[in-house]
């Protein structure tokens, strides 16, 4: 197990890519705190399925855009598990897609709340704990769309762009405390939201590996970044999209 006995918080972990990340981290030995906002039943069900298989997981409902709520949640997680080793910032909500003339400024501020404010809230809450434990791991879920800038995605990319910039600065500032900060950029991954009725032919035609990825592949990269195998990796932007993005630096 890559991360046996480590404690990891996954925001937005009740469904979609977040739930897949939770399952993989639990299989790799972590105790997983599943954060949700409105999907408490799904989060509890996921935690039960993990504990029924011998793993460790528990759900916490908290609005991660509220710093007081995040501090309270992190305190409870620390009290329950005795430490916090990692955070996966995955949660997102609200309008993400729409042409410039059809979206409102409130949509952008909501995107910034999740792409920047929520990340600051979780990192500020766990940083003293990680420092006391000798270090930690932060993984921020961004997007392959950052590289494409497709029409209609200005809201989504505004929030994720804020997350990219913040992640790079955090990696520099938290590095001396042995806290790594990395980014995973998923492609269009298959989750329970993507049914067999959805035609992915057009998308797959642009993927060199010739298939749509499964959301658990994001969880596998999270597990790597949370493990000692990635102890010297920080500030990285890792596309997990089958080769749709093939270069991110000079």
pLDDT at 53: 96
| pLDDT tens per residue across span 202-238 | 889 999 999 998 999 999 999 999 999 999 999 999 9
| pLDDT tens per residue across span 130-189 | 999 999 999 999 998 888 888 999 999 999 999 999 999 999 999 999 999 999 999 988
Residue 32 CA to residue 47 CA, distance in Å, equals 8
Residue 23 CA to residue 13 CA, distance in Å, equals 9
Does residue 128 register a pLDDT over 60? yes
CB 30 within 8 A of CB 6: yes
pLDDT at 22: 98
Does residue 197 or residue 184 have the better pLDDT? 184
pLDDT at 47: 98
| pLDDT tens per residue across span 29-53 | 999 999 999 899 999 999 999 999 9
pLDDT at 223: 98
pLDDT at 151: 92
Does residue 190 register a pLDDT over 90? no
pTM of the complete model = 0.94
Residue 160 CA to residue 157 CA, distance in Å, equals 5
Radius of gyration over every alpha carbon of the chain, rounded to an integer in angstroms: 17
State yes or no: is 237 an active-site residue.
no
Q: Pick from 151, 77, 166: which is nearest to 113 by CA?
A: 166
pLDDT at 148: 86
Determine the Cα angle at 117 with ends 220 and 105, to 5°.
Answer: 110
Residue 230 φ/ψ region, left for φ over 0, alpha for ψ in the -120 to 50 degree band, beta for the rest: alpha
Single out the catalytic residue among 114, 156, 203, 237: 156
Q: Can you point out the beta strands (E) in the chain?
A: 7-10, 31-36, 56-61, 86-89, 136-141, 179-186, 237-240
pLDDT at 149: 84
| pLDDT tens per residue across span 59-117 | 999 999 999 999 999 999 999 999 999 999 999 998 888 999 999 999 999 999 999 99
All residues at 6 or more sequence positions from 168 whose CB lies less than 8 Å from its CB, including other chains: 235
Beta bridge partners of 181: 138
Does residue 193 register a pLDDT over 80? no
Which tokens in the block code for residue 148?
Answer: 């494409």
Coil/strand/helix, residue 35: strand
């Amino acid at each position: 197990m890559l991360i046996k006995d480590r404690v990891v918080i996954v925001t937005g972990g009740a469904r979609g890519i977040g739930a897949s990340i939770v399952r993989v981290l639990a299989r790799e030995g972590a105790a997983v705190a599943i954060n949700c906002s409105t999907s408490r039943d799904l989060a509890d069900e996921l935690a039960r399925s993990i504990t029924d298989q011998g793993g460790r997981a528990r759900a916490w409902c908290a609005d991660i855009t509220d710093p007081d709520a995040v501090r309270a949640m992190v305190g409870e997680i620390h009290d329950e598990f005795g430490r916090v080793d990692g955070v996966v910032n995955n949660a997102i909500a609200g309008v993400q897609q729409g042409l410039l003339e059809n979206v409102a400024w409130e949509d952008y501020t909501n995107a910034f709340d999740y792409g920047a404010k929520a990340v600051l809230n979780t990192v500020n809450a766990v940083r003293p704990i990680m420092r006391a434990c000798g270090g930690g791991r932060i993984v921020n879920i961004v997007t392959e769309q950052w590289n494409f800038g497709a029409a209609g995605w200005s809201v989504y990319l505004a929030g994720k762009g804020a997350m990219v910039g913040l992640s790079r600065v955090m990696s520099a500032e938290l590095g001396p405390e042995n806290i790594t900060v990395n980014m995973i950029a998923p492609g269009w991954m298959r989750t329970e939201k993507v049914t067999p009725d959805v035609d992915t032919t057009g998308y797959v035609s642009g993927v060199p590996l010739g298939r749509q990825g499964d959301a658990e592949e994001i969880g596998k990269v999270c597990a790597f970044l949370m493990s000692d195998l990635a102890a010297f990796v920080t500030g990285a932007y890792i596309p997990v999209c089958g080769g749709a993005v093939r270069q991110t630096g000079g």
